[in-house]
Structure 1
Amino acid sequence: MGQENWTVVTTFVLLGLSPAHEVQLILFFLFLIFYTVVLPGNVLIILTVWGDPRLGSPMYFLLANLAFLDICYCSVTPPKMLADFFSRRKTISYMGCMAQIFFLHLLGAAEAFLLLTMAYDRYVAVCQPLRYTSMVSRGVCWALVGASWAGGFIHAIILVGLIAQLPFCGPNVLDNFFCDVPQVIKLACTDTALVEILTFSNNGLVILLCFLFLLVSYSLLLLKLRARSPRGQSKVASTCITHIIVVFVMFVPAIYIYCRPFRAVPLEKVVAVLHTVVFPLTNPMIYTLRNKEVKSAMRRMVGRYGSWGRELSK
């Protein structure tokens, strides 16, 4: 097939989560309630960390960046999903589909690399406490956050480059509520075996290696903490356990989606919803609920703004 016939498909049709109108209406209000409750919480985390000098350590700086990344990540697919609940024919343009894949994987990979940075921060705090301020300075943190975004960009641009060169000249129906690599590749009217291997190497393999590295590193840190005093051991261990929870919450659904052959599997849409809509916004909340310093800073900030509001109303 000549290159001039490539990308004949200009629009993809999304089947969504359910064909039943009643179910779509229920899901719309559930997701809307979830967003109106959890999204402001993530914004509050960012404002609290940036506004309270007591939270000036690298750990909280990275937490604020995680909350920002998750807010961006949850702005890629859910807005269109919510709008599509009221559409009889759910469609997305070819360019919109490529953009959705690009930003989804840019932000997802950046978050994975940021979690590696947070693991490095905890490693230095536990194993090199006397050198912590020099090894994890604010400049180093900015550099590592920038590297996370750069790594996410490289990952996403390679992925989109592999998909964009495929010809789409036949079926255009995606059995999902957003564009993602496995479903889109299956619609290409050519042999995609090589592309599937390359995308798995760039996507599934990277996810799996990051997950295993984080799991091993935090397990070793917990073993290292056994030599600490009970008081210091308890606080740092709690932080490490929180990180492990977030690692599982983020990576297990991603492994289920991307670390397998490109074919439909049971509960794929449910896992996709958890991975792209629910879990990202809850990640920073998990850190906050297990961190007394952040909760205390939030109460101080809310109390401070509340007192200002009362003063202005007088």
Structure 2
Amino acid sequence: MNNTQPSSVTFFILQGLGSLGEKKMILFVIFLLAYTIILGGNSMIIYLVRTDPKLGSPMYFFLHNLSFVDMVYTTVTIPNMLSGFLTDVKIVSFPGCFLQMYSFIQLGLTDRALLTVMAYDRYVAICNPLRYTTVMTRPVRLLLIVGAWTFGAFFTLPAITMATQRSYCGPNVVRHCWCDPSSLRVLVCGDTQVENMVSLSSAVISLLTTGLLILISYILIVMAIAKMGATQRLKAFTTCVAHLTVVTISYTSAAFVYISYRVGNISPEVRIIVSVLYSILTPFLNPMIYSLRNKELRDAIKRAFCPHTDILPQGCKTLNIMS
């Protein structure tokens, strides 16, 4: 079939987890709670960074942008998935499906690029502390943010552009909670070998590039920390532990998703659940990890929500104990 032929499919049906029956409502409650926490936690970080002058360092500027990306990233898929739990048939238009697919992939890669930028920021702060403020100027920070978004768009466009040019002649049932590239590709009329290669190459190159840059940054950081005294070493390690924890969780969960799609005896429902958990895990844990591991952020929370330190609410007492 000619690849430039207009598609005979004008909409897609998202099957999601319809086979789970009444268990869908349990998942609905779990994912709704998780989404609420994601929005609340990341909104809190954005609010604190934008209003607290003591959080004006480049590290918090990048964290603020990471929280924004996490919120949009989950908003692209979770509300649509939640509505699918409440209806028997979830329909998405042809353009809307590809817009969702592009946004999901692009924001995921932008998230990885921002983690890479934050690793570079920690490298400069620890390995070149005297030059930190002169290197991480506001124009440089903005350039790094633009670079992260450009990186995500660059590695997303080829596969999505090819997908939109193909014909989808039915069935139009997508076995996923959203327009997942792998689930949509099986509906293409004709051979998809080229699309598979382009999609896999883009994913591998982008993940390996960001992962390698993060690894190099931390190797240089470890080499610099090894030359420090005990007090400086502890302080340097403290500034990295939250970011390193987030990076480890992010790339480990991505590896599980990659493996689940290539193991033949895993049911489609399990693959979907693994994919959904992957998409919400890092945005869900980011605010908690940074709030628990970063003293400056905990202090900012106390200043914002517990301004009167003489009579502290129970939540503020808990924060004081954690500090």
Q: TM-score, normalised by structure 1?
A: 0.90
Q: Partner of 2:53 in structure 1? A: 53
Partner Cα distance (1:289, 1:69) in 2: 21
**Displacement after TM superposition at 1:6 (Å):** 3.4
Give 5+ residue unaligned stretches, structure 2: 311-323
| Alpha carbons 2:38, 2:283 under 8 Å: kept | no
Structure 1 stretches of 4+ with a deviation exceeding 4 A read 258-265
| Alpha carbons 1:42, 1:285 under 8 Å: kept | no
- The yes-or-no answer on 1:299 pairing with 2:302 is yes
- The yes-or-no answer on 1:122 pairing with 2:125 is no
- The alignment partner of 1:166 has SS state of coil
**Displacement after TM superposition at 1:84 (Å):** 0.8
Q: Partner of 1:22 in structure 2? A: 22
**Displacement after TM superposition at 1:215 (Å):** 2.9
- The yes-or-no answer on 1:277 pairing with 2:280 is yes
Cα 1:83–1:63 shift into 2, 3 Å: same
Identity, % of aligned positions: 37
- The alignment partner of 2:306 has SS state of helix
**Displacement after TM superposition at 1:303 (Å):** 2.3
- The alignment partner of 2:9 has SS state of coil
Cα 1:196–1:43 shift into 2, 3 Å: same
Deviation string, structure 1 residues 213-234 (Cα, Å, up to 9, x no partner): 3234324422321211222211
Question: Which of 14-23 and 257-266 deviates more?
Answer: 257-266
Cα 1:199–1:258 shift into 2, 3 Å: farther
Q: TM-score, normalised by structure 2?
A: 0.87
- The alignment partner of 1:203 has SS state of helix
Question: Which of 188-197 and 221-230 deviates more?
Answer: 221-230
**Displacement after TM superposition at 1:198 (Å):** 1.0
Q: Partner of 1:312 in structure 2? A: none
Q: Partner of 1:310 in structure 2? A: none
| Alpha carbons 1:73, 1:108 under 8 Å: kept | yes
- The alignment partner of 1:77 has SS state of helix
Cα 1:265–1:93 shift into 2, 3 Å: farther
Q: Partner of 1:152 in structure 2? A: 152
Partner Cα distance (1:24, 1:204) in 2: 33
**Displacement after TM superposition at 1:152 (Å):** 1.6
| Alpha carbons 1:205, 1:259 under 8 Å: kept | no
- The alignment partner of 2:92 has SS state of strand
Partner Cα distance (2:143, 2:34) in 1: 33
| Alpha carbons 1:110, 1:148 under 8 Å: kept | yes
Q: Partner of 1:112 in structure 2? A: 112
Question: Which of 280-289 and 186-195 deviates more?
Answer: 280-289
Q: How many pairs are equivalent?
A: 307
Partner Cα distance (2:280, 2:49) in 1: 24
Q: Partner of 2:315 in structure 1? A: none
